[in-house]
Amino acid sequence: MSRLMLGRTLERICKGVLLLCLLHFLIMMILYFDVYSQRFDIFSRFNNGRNGSRNNSSGAASGHHFYYYNLSRPNATSAPYLAAGEQLVPSSQPDNNHTPSPKPLPPCPENPPGLVGRLLIEFSSQMTMERVQKENPNVTEGGRYKPPDCRPRWKVAIIIPFRHRENHLKYWLHYLHPILRRQKIDYGIYIINQLGEDTFNRAKLLNVGYTEALKDAEYDCFIFSDVDLIPMDDRNLYHCYDQPRHFAIAMDKFGFRLPYAGYFGGVSGLSKKQFLKINGFPNEYWGWGGEDDDIYNRITLNGMKVSRPDVRIGRYRMIKHERDKHNEPNPQRFNKIQNTKNTMKKDGISSLTYKLVQVKKYPMYTNISVEIGKPPPRPIKG
Ligand SMILES: *[C@@H]1O[C@H](CO)[C@@H](O)[C@H](O)[C@H]1NC(C)=O
Ligand SMILES: *[C@@H]1O[C@H](CO)[C@@H](O)[C@H](O)[C@H]1NC(C)=O
Ligand SMILES: *[C@@H]1O[C@H](CO)[C@@H](O)[C@H](O)[C@H]1NC(C)=O
Ligand SMILES: *[C@@H]1O[C@H](CO)[C@@H](O)[C@H](O)[C@H]1NC(C)=O
Ligand SMILES: *[C@@H]1O[C@H](CO)[C@@H](O)[C@H](O)[C@H]1NC(C)=O
Ligand SMILES: *[C@@H]1O[C@H](CO)[C@@H](O)[C@H](O)[C@H]1NC(C)=O
Ligand SMILES: *[C@@H]1O[C@H](CO)[C@@H](O)[C@H](O)[C@H]1NC(C)=O
């Protein structure tokens, strides 16, 4: 009797195991066909009729393309790969070429919501380029960035005339990259490095920056900034305006006030159109001073006005430093700025000549080294 019971139990267990095996087999078959259909797209072929002609119905954007999933890839389910024709070779096209038509980005807001306003700017802590790089992982080679989530209104080249100021540059990059990112600007950073030890020529370097930046990308806005000036408020938006823009209106060194009404120094910005309208900047101001007044004259003489931010927002901190060597005040500057009207047509972006020596893209900026000559010999007087 107990044997009979045992026999029946065994029979039941056997049946159970058999059923389980069947179920397992069924599931395997379903999975197999599922994968098979994805790979060879048989269902869409059935839908197209039996003459075997292929159509575009399989979902690919063009031609005889279809999707399949490479299940041995870790991310297979999230990204279907496009293959050409019947071959099971992954296309060499980048993945984003066939993601279901990417939505066009909305224009970036005029007042970006992520701004923080007044900023604490200080230069006491040690700054290194490694730190700046770590803080800005999304800045691409040559110091380029563009917002991932909206369409910027301007493409801005930021031009910095430069010589021997590596330390200031680190602070500038440390503060400006995050500010510009919050401002949702599409930008590139260009250091224009004057080679040699002849007299410095800021405005000519700015003309070079305009020319060289345009070789790199189609910029429509140019912001010219000294390397030692850091904005203290991120609402001072680094893009272009209806009129040429003067950004650095309230520097700490001038007691946070405009030093004089026609001041246009430090940080300024012109659209490509505005820049060309004034024939760029003068090339003949060697040494410190005057070139910004000449630029101001060019703007007003061409029927434009200077636009400025609110004085509470246009505040700047200047990194303290000793006067640079070979950038002594230019004694001719007072005479020259009287003559802008006569000189601006001849002297400007139209007459710019220089020797490009090196363009080097670093992670946080592009370094453009140029030879721009030296001042003409002084006329000898009695
Ligand atoms: C066979 O292919 C041709 C050409 O694409 C198409 O016009 C025709 O409708 C197809 N036949 C059937 C039965 O679907
Ligand atoms: C298939 O191709 C024919 C012409 O070649 C086209 O008219 C038809 O719309 C296509 N079918 C689908 C589903 O794309
Ligand atoms: C498939 O689509 C492309 C463009 O989307 C078209 O040029 C081509 O003629 C289509 N082929 C068929 C068979 O419909
Ligand atoms: C599938 O993906 C694996 C891992 O990425 C790769 O090695 C293999 O070549 C791929 N196979 C096909 C057919 O794309
Ligand atoms: C898989 O996706 C994750 C997150 O999207 C990504 O970080 C990773 O690089 C992907 N791996 C492969 C092999 O594509
Ligand atoms: C960099 O980009 C990634 C992906 O768009 C984003 O998740 C991340 O927050 C960004 N990092 C910074 C510091 O902006
Ligand atoms: C730029 O390049 C020049 C020439 O190679 C080099 O002397 C200078 O130090 C570089 N400056 C910066 C800031 O990278």
| 62 and 195 share one domain | no
Please report the pLDDT score of residue 381 as a whole number.
Answer: 56
Please give the distance, rounded to the nearest whole angstrom, from the Cα atom of residue 367 to the centre of ligand 7.
Answer: 6
Average pLDDT over residues 53-63: 43
Q: Which residue has the tokens 């070079």?
A: 208
Residue 277 belongs to domain with CATH number: 3.90.550.10
Is residue 184, in this structure, part of any structural domain at all?
Answer: yes
Asked which of 24-28, 88-92, 190-194, 294-298 is least confident by mean pLDDT, the reply is 88-92
Is residue 240, in this structure, part of any structural domain at all?
Answer: yes
> What pLDDT, in 10s, does the model give residues 105-131?
899 999 999 999 999 999 888 899 999
Please check the confidence at residue 178 and state whether its pLDDT lies above 70: yes
Average pLDDT over residues 140-145: 97
For residues 222 and 156, the answer to whether their CB atoms sit within 8 Å is yes
Amino acid sitting at position 20:
L
| 252 and 172 share one domain | yes
For residues 314 and 236, the answer to whether their CB atoms sit within 8 Å is yes
| 138 and 72 share one domain | no
The H-or-E segment that residue 206 falls in is helix 202-216
Specify the higher pLDDT residue, 288 or 38: 288
Cα dist from 253 to 26, 229, 257, 313, 317, whole Å = 81, 11, 9, 16, 8
Q: Choose which residue among 56, 58, 65 to substitute to test ligand 2 binding: the one with the highest number of ligand atoms within 8 A of its C-beta.
A: 56
Cα dist from 175 to 65, 155, 158, 239, 364, whole Å = 48, 20, 14, 17, 12
Q: Choose which residue among 132, 193, 195 to substitute to test ligand 7 binding: the one with the highest number of ligand atoms within 8 A of its C-beta.
A: 193
| 7 and 65 share one domain | yes
Specify the higher pLDDT residue, 90 or 250: 250
Is residue 377, in this structure, part of any structural domain at all?
Answer: no
pTM of the entire predicted model: 0.64
Is 286 a catalytic site residue? Answer: no
**Ligand approaching nearest to the C-alpha of 64:** 3
**Ligand approaching nearest to the C-alpha of 62:** 3
Nearest ligand 7 atom to the CA of 191 is 13
| 158 and 35 share one domain | no
Please check the confidence at residue 244 and state whether its pLDDT lies above 50: yes
| 90 and 36 share one domain | yes
Measured from the Cβ of residue 213, the count of other Cβ atoms closer than 10 Å reads 23
Angle (nearest 5°) at CA 168 between 165 and 171: 155
Q: What percent of the chain has pLDDT over 90?
A: 61
Domain count, the chain: 2
Please give the distance, rounded to the nearest whole angstrom, from the Cα atom of residue 75 to the centre of ligand 5.
Answer: 6
Is residue 343, in this structure, part of any structural domain at all?
Answer: yes
Cα(104)–Cα(117) distance, integer angstroms = 30
- Return the half-sphere exposure (C-beta side, CA atoms, 13 A cut-off) of residue 112: 24
Is residue 123, in this structure, part of any structural domain at all?
Answer: no
Q: What percent of the chain has pLDDT over 70?
A: 80
Pocket of ligand 5 (CB under 6 A): 74-75
| 289 and 245 share one domain | yes
Please give the distance, rounded to the nearest whole angstrom, from the Cα atom of residue 33 to the centre of ligand 4.
Answer: 20
Is 5 a catalytic site residue? Answer: no
Is 321 a catalytic site residue? Answer: yes
Is 347 a catalytic site residue? Answer: no
Cα(207)–Cα(211) distance, integer angstroms = 6
Amino acid sitting at position 173:
L
Of 40, 75, 96, at which residue does a domain stop? 96
Average pLDDT over residues 218-222: 97
Is residue 358, in this structure, part of any structural domain at all?
Answer: yes
Helix (H/G/I), strand (E/B), else coil: 42: helix
- Is ligand 7 within 6 A of the CB of residue 358? yes
Is 288 a catalytic site residue? Answer: yes
**Ligand approaching nearest to the C-alpha of 59:** 2
Please report the pLDDT score of residue 316 as a whole number.
Answer: 95
Distance of alpha carbon 314 from its chain centroid, rounded? 23
Is residue 154, in this structure, part of any structural domain at all?
Answer: yes
Please report the pLDDT score of residue 5 as a whole number.
Answer: 82
Of 96, 112, 146, at which residue does a domain stop? 96
| 57 and 205 share one domain | no
Range of 147's domain? 129-371
- Is ligand 7 within 6 A of the CB of residue 194? no
| 224 and 363 share one domain | yes
Cα(193)–Cα(268) distance, integer angstroms = 19
Asked which of 28-42, 236-250, 293-307, 357-371 is least confident by mean pLDDT, the reply is 28-42
34, 197, 321, 371: the active-site residue: 321
| 55 and 151 share one domain | no
Of 71, 96, 121, at which residue does a domain stop? 96
Nearest ligand 6 atom to the CA of 137 is 13
Please report the pLDDT score of residue 133 as a whole number.
Answer: 96
- Return the half-sphere exposure (C-beta side, CA atoms, 13 A cut-off) of residue 299: 24
β-bridge mates for residue 231, sequence order:
316
Is 95 a catalytic site residue? Answer: no
Please check the confidence at residue 232 and state whether its pLDDT lies above 60: yes
Please give the distance, rounded to the nearest whole angstrom, from the Cα atom of residue 368 to the centre of ligand 7.
Answer: 8
Burial tier of 284 (Cβ tally within 10 Å: 0-12, 13-18, 19+): buried
Which phi-psi region, left, alpha or beta, contains residue 176 (left: φ > 0; alpha: ψ -120 to 50)? alpha
β-bridge mates for residue 1, sequence order:
none
| 83 and 144 share one domain | no
Q: Provide φ and ψ at 267, rounded to 5°.
A: -135, 125
288, 304, 326, 328: the active-site residue: 288
Cα(159)–Cα(116) distance, integer angstroms = 25
Please check the confidence at residue 67 and state whether its pLDDT lies above 60: no
| 162 and 287 share one domain | yes
Residue 287 tokens, joined: 């040494």
Is residue 263, in this structure, part of any structural domain at all?
Answer: yes
Nearest ligand 5 atom to the CA of 79 is 14
